[in-house]
Structure 1
Amino acid sequence: MPDDISDEEDTSTESNSDIPLHHYEEDNIPYVAEEYEINTSHGRSEGNGPSAISLSVFLSGYRPYYKGGTHSNEYLNEKLQKMNPKKSIVDQDLSFLAEGLEGRSPNPVALLLDALCRPDADLGVDNPSLLEWKFEKEHAIDHVVLGKGKAGGAWQNMDGSMQTLSFANWMELPSLSFKEWQNSHHRDESHAHNGRATVADVRRYYGDFVEERGLQPYFRDQYVVTSIQKKFYTNKDVDSESGEVEPCKCRYKNHGFLWEVRGYCYLGDSEGDREEFCYCTNNVVVATGTFDIPNKLGIHGENLPYVLHSLEEVEHVLSNKKKKKSQDPVVIVGAGLSAADAVIMALKMKRPVVHVFRRGANDSQLIFKKLPAAIYPEYHTIHSMMKGKTINPLYKPYPNHSLVELKEDNHVLIQTTSGGDILSLDAFYVAILIGACPDLSFLPHDGKNLGVIPRFPIDSKHNPIHVDPYSYQCVAETGLFSMGPLVGDNFVRFGLGGSLGITNHLLLTKNKQTQ
Structure 2
Amino acid sequence: MSQVYDILIVGGGPIGIACGLEAKKKGLSYIIIEKGPIVNSLFNYPINMQFFSSSEKLEIDDIPFISKEAKPKRNEALEYYRRIVTSNKLNIHLFEKVTGVQKFQDSFLVETTKDQYHGKNVIVATGFYDLPNKINVPGEDLPKVSHYYKDPHFYASQKLAVIGASNSAIDAALECWRKGAEVTLIIRGPEVGQRVKYWVRPDIINRIEEGSIKAYYNSTVKEITDNTVIIDSPEGSVTLENDFVLALTGYMPNFEFLEQLGIRLSADEKRLPEYDQKTMETNVDGLFLAGVICGGMETHKWFIENSRIHAKIIVKAILDKMQLVEES
Aligned residue number for residue 412 of structure 1: 229
Contact 1:226–1:442 (CA under 8 A) maintained in structure 2: no
Cα drift, residue 447 of structure 1: 5.7
Aligned ranges for residues 39-438 of structure 1 at < 5 Å?
Answer: 48-61=12-25, 139-178=26-65, 182=66, 189=68, 192=69, 195-215=70-90, 218-231=91-104, 256-264=105-113, 276-312=114-150, 315=151, 318-320=152-154, 327-361=157-191, 366-368=194-196, 371-372=197-198, 376=199, 378-386=200-208, 388=209, 391-393=210-212, 395-407=213-225, 409-416=226-233, 418=234, 420-438=235-253
Q: Return the offset for 1:361.
A: 2.1
Specify whether residues 149 and 349 from structure 1 end up closer, same or farther in structure 2 by C-alpha distance, changes over 3 A only: same
Instruction: Report the CA distance shift for 1:446/1:426 in structure 2 as closer, same or farther (over 3 A).
Output: farther
- Structure 1 gaps, min length 5: 1-5, 7-23, 35-47, 62-138, 232-255, 265-275
CA-to-partner distance for each residue in 1:451-493, whole Å, 9 max, x for gaps? 2x15x67xxxx3332211111100x211111010011352211
Amino acid of the structure 2 residue aligned with 1:31:
L
Distance in 1, matches of 2:140 and 2:181, equals 22
- Report deviation, 1:498: 1.1
For residues 383-407 of structure 1, what are the alpha-carbon distances to aligned partners after superposition, in whole Å with 9 as ceiling and x for unaligned? 3334x2xx253x1111121111112
Q: Which amino acid aligns with 2:112?
A: G
* Alpha-carbon offset, residue 506 of structure 1: 1.1
Cα separation, partners in 2 of 1:54 and 1:157, compared to 1, 3 Å = same
Are 1:450 and 2:253 an aligned pair?
A: no
1:479 lines up with 2:286 in the alignment: yes
Change (3 A) 1:350 1:328: closer
Matches of 2:28 and 2:237 in 1, distance apart? 61
Alpha-carbon separation, structure 1, partners of 2:250 and 2:49 = 18
> Structure 1 residues 59 and 257 mapped into 2: Cα distance closer, same or farther (>3 Å)?
closer
Matched position secondary structure for 1:261: strand
CA contact (8 A) 1:385 1:397 kept: no
The SS at the match of 2:284 is: coil
Which of 1 and 2 has greater Rg?
1
CA distance in 1, matches of 2:224, 2:141: 9
- Asked if the contact 1:159–1:200 (Cα under 8 Å) also holds between the matched residues in 2, the reply is no
- State whether residues 150 and 207 of structure 1, in contact with CA within 8 Å, keep that contact through their aligned partners in structure 2: no
3-state SS of paired residue (2:89): coil
Counting aligned pairs with the same residue, the percent is 22
Aligned residue-pair number: 322
Q: CA RMSD in A?
A: 2.1
Task: Deviation per CA, 1:360-396: give whole Å up to 9, x if none.
Answer: 127xx6324xx54xxx2x332013334x2xx253x11
State the secondary structure of the residue aligned to 2:324.
helix
State the match for 1:29 in structure 2. 6
- Residue 467 of structure 1 corresponds to 275
What are structure 2's unaligned runs of at least 5 residues? 296-300
Listed one character per residue, the Cα deviations across residues 320-348 of structure 1 (whole Å, up to 9, x for unaligned) are 4xx75xx5410001011110111122112
For normalisation by structure 2, the TM-score amounts to 0.91
* CA distance in structure 1 between the aligned counterparts of 2:202 and 2:260, rounded to whole angstroms: 38
Q: Deviations over 1:78-123 (max 9, x none)?
A: xxxxxxxxxxxxxxxxxxxxxxxxxxxxxxxxxxxxxxxxxxxxxx
- 2:315 maps to 1:503: yes
Work out whether residues 138 and 223 of structure 2, in 8 Å CA contact, stay in contact via their aligned partners in 1. Answer: yes
Q: Give 1:500 deviation, angstroms.
A: 1.1
The CA distance in 2 between the partners of 1:448 and 1:335, in whole Å, is 34
1:413 CA drift (Å): 0.6
Q: Distance in 1 between matches of 2:59 and 2:314?
A: 19
In 2, Cα distance between the equivalents of 1:410 and 1:307?
11
CA-CA distance at 1:301 after TM superposition: 1.1
Q: Measure, in 1, the Cα distance between the counterparts of 2:214 and 2:262.
A: 41
For the 8 Å contact 1:259–1:283, the answer to whether it is kept is: yes
TM-score, length basis structure 1: 0.59
Q: Distance between the aligned counterparts of 1:59 and 1:212, measured in 2? A: 16
Q: Which residue of 2 aligns with 1:87?
A: none
Q: 1:161 to 1:328 in 2, by over 3 A?
A: closer
Which residue type is aligned with residue 194 of structure 2?
Answer: L
Counterpart of 2:298 in structure 1 is none
Report the Cα distance in structure 2 between the residues aligned to 1:293 and 1:503, rounded to whole angstroms: 28
